[in-house]
Structure 1
């Protein structure tokens, strides 16, 4: 392939005759989306593939903080979490629901629901199946119209698509008289669904359930490929106000979003005070941590398997850390980014500019220039 030949043109779209989408998702920078993102009459959902939520937590919070209005729902795939670390990934003003893998590393899904929304966990549509998928689902309670089901799904790459298709069909088929938004990383390329029979069967099932995909442009772009593997499916396309892909380098997947009409005249919404959290890192807390670590049994760390050794080490360390250096609530408004100087802001803007240039050019030269600046 010629070094200047693009894998994908950002202004192009897939063959809509294959899918009858009648909807076009565009690429946005955060400043382009700010106007009209959300209001009291809309429901906004963003999906982010984090590839380690703990390591990306501050990046995700900083990115979401750039929007003038908050997304009502934040869906995260590939959280790579286990239960002991959930206190580290709380977001102020949101209720967290999650499913973590148990028997192996990676995967995992989470939903952050804005506290202004009344919701409950849908246990029938919340599950994990080893080597196939993770799924977490909540039901938004709407007193004046249909309730809304929101699911976040992650399908493990290389897993059996037929088993995954059967599970989704089983879960979604029971939904009656409710609006559904099912988002996530499906690892099934929408651009070439007929290339593989099982992929074609998945999309046939999606349409048979009355669902349509809202994303029709690549969400993962490299110098070698451009694929539509992240998506949002809904049974209420007519309520969609805006949908698209966000150009940011949180991970190698681009975030996707949808803004939908939403009417709820519920008078019983509880308004929450502004609550921030910080770690107790006082001298006494650190002394307690030091004492606790000395008392731990580290036998499980001294094993031949380096992965098991690392997992055991982190489990012991984090348990002691969370016990000794507890989270402290801080009420009231404060500056969450006191360290963000004009110099840092300018550097972030240049990095983002280089990343968008790479997405448009898709050349090794543009990628190397972006990575060199990002990592220096």
Structure 2
């Protein structure tokens, strides 16, 4: 088979092999697979003939006519993006994240309904990941310009945008292993939503535009759709890969009866912005809606998406994985001495036998340094032999992050997760009340354990003012601001000339500061005579009896 036997599908960029069923756009002549073209029609209906691609349909303003019927079919979306959305329990999270490829980018989203209130619950949930998410998007942060409590996560940088209302606000935790910068060219500038955008560098060849968006409920969908359409259009014109996460407050499960929601979905599909979440994300005992979602145009990558069934807030968390195949991540491991097999008697015996040759040597000025170095080397080798330094497991690393969470509390948390499925979702009214009572008591217990931990820590460092303030800083989120150093490119001398040479600039500064002392000395008036002439009735002799 020759290269002329292959064509390229403009949607998925995969080859169209001779003999495969393909379609041609009647206007521009673009070719694509038949299965890729199914995005423009319901799976149980034939494709419209003649066929028009989405770009040409958008040009002729007839997109709604051809594609409105598709909005009801999430199965076709999954087929096109090769993505399967799954509901998972918290107990399954560790196993699933372990099975993921190491070359996998993980993006996580949660509507916290107050980040400060549910911060501890969020940390507990994230600790269940075997591989932590690289990006954590938060909607409804309820934060002011400056958070008044510690909401930092280890190995993450945090940026946020507050809301002008009581509720709302968005934030992003970005792994410090990745390079990113905040951008503003895609800001929605919509009065009924908050949004935050970054350019995230995955590796030397791949970068994503990341957006986290929160649209306030019961606001005009038509106006918001027009705004998001303009942004998606700019992203496509710039040929940028993007991932959009957030609480959109537009129920995709109810779009079959709502024309505004249908138009909103069609706007995303017209720009090849595919929703990865197809399961309900906000479930109560009387309703089930899909208002949180993750949209992306990275359909050429292997994608997976998950909804975590947990009661961290009134919204389920969601996350997606993008297989980048060349992504590498630095592992930030914590090392500790392994004291499990340490015996003080064996250690003391080993030390005594090892330093015996040194203790019998006569110490002189010539061999003092040699003998001391030998002694230090013996102590170090003995410690390493009896208590070797080993990297902590992921499980123990997670435990260090929250030392007030005891073994008993962890057992209670797992029990609560099981009760959520049996009592909250599928139980009777009596079981529901039992679950809520247990959940509230557990929350009170965790808060008391946390307060007691910090109370004891403050007592331990009460005599050390520096350690005390470091501990207070970790509690209330005080961060040391570092002013970046900038090079001085130009100076103006006393005679008005400009100097640009870095060496000359340095010499001018050196001359200025080294001449301050002599110049001040020259300005001090010279006085003749002794200082005694300025003293009135000086005491010339002092005696003690």
TM-score normalised by the chain length of structure 1: 0.73
Counterparts of 1:72-83 in structure 2, within 5 Å, are 72-83=134-145
Choose the corresponding residue for 2:225, options 152, 162, 165.
Answer: 165
Q: Deviations over 1:31-67 (max 9, x none)?
A: 4232452554110011111000011112211221122
Q: Does structure 2 retain, via aligned residues, the 8 Å contact 1:144–1:263?
A: no
**Which residue number corresponds to residue 338 of structure 1?**
403
CA–CA distance in structure 2, aligned partners of residues 53 and 192 of structure 1: 29
Q: Does structure 1 retain, via aligned residues, the 8 Å contact 2:248–2:291?
A: yes
1:271/1:202 CA distance change after superposition, 3 Å: same
Q: Deviations over 1:205-244 (max 9, x none)?
A: 0101111111111111111111111111111234244211
Deviation at 1:166, TM superposition (A): 1.6
CA–CA distance in structure 1, aligned partners of residues 330 and 132 of structure 2: 17
Deviation at 1:366, TM superposition (A): 3.8
**Which residue number corresponds to residue 180 of structure 2?**
119
**Which residue number corresponds to residue 354 of structure 1?**
419
CA–CA distance in structure 2, aligned partners of residues 110 and 100 of structure 1: 8
CA–CA distance in structure 2, aligned partners of residues 195 and 93 of structure 1: 45
Q: Does structure 2 retain, via aligned residues, the 8 Å contact 1:245–1:254?
A: yes
**Which residue number corresponds to residue 259 of structure 1?**
321
Q: CA RMSD in A?
A: 2.6
CA–CA distance in structure 2, aligned partners of residues 199 and 361 of structure 1: 30
CA–CA distance in structure 1, aligned partners of residues 176 and 223 of structure 2: 35
Aligned: 1:43 with 2:112: no
Aligned: 1:21 with 2:77: yes
Aligned: 1:52 with 2:52: no
TM-score normalised by the chain length of structure 2: 0.51
**Which residue number corresponds to residue 153 of structure 1?**
213
1:362/1:173 CA distance change after superposition, 3 Å: farther
Aligned: 1:71 with 2:71: no
Q: Does structure 2 retain, via aligned residues, the 8 Å contact 1:99–1:127?
A: no
**Higher RCO (CA < 8 A, seq sep 6+):** 1
Unaligned runs of 5+ in 2: 1-69, 335-396, 442-545
Q: Deviations over 1:178-229 (max 9, x none)?
A: 2211111111111121322211111010101111111111111111111111
Choose the corresponding residue for 1:207, options 269, 273, 292.
Answer: 269
Which stretch shows the higher mean deviation, 223-232 or 255-264?
A: 255-264
Deviation at 1:371, TM superposition (A): 0.6
CA–CA distance in structure 2, aligned partners of residues 218 and 242 of structure 1: 16
Match of 1:350, SS state, is helix
Q: Does structure 2 retain, via aligned residues, the 8 Å contact 1:30–1:67?
A: no
CA–CA distance in structure 2, aligned partners of residues 363 and 202 of structure 1: 37
Counterparts of 1:283-294 in structure 2, within 5 Å, are none
Deviation at 1:174, TM superposition (A): 1.1
Choose the corresponding residue for 1:32, options 89, 92, 96.
Answer: 92
Q: Which has the larger radius of gyration?
A: 2
Deviation at 1:333, TM superposition (A): 10
CA–CA distance in structure 2, aligned partners of residues 113 and 355 of structure 1: 30
Number of residues of Structure 1 aligned to a counterpart in Structure 2 = 301
CA–CA distance in structure 1, aligned partners of residues 202 and 275 of structure 2: 24
**Which residue number corresponds to residue 374 of structure 1?**
439
Runs of 4+ in 1 over 6 A off after TM superposition: 269-274
Q: Does structure 2 retain, via aligned residues, the 8 Å contact 1:222–1:362?
A: no
Match of 2:400, SS state, is coil
Q: Does structure 1 retain, via aligned residues, the 8 Å contact 2:190–2:224?
A: no
Q: Does structure 1 retain, via aligned residues, the 8 Å contact 2:72–2:256?
A: no
Q: Does structure 1 retain, via aligned residues, the 8 Å contact 2:156–2:176?
A: yes
Unaligned runs of 5+ in 1: 1-14, 275-331
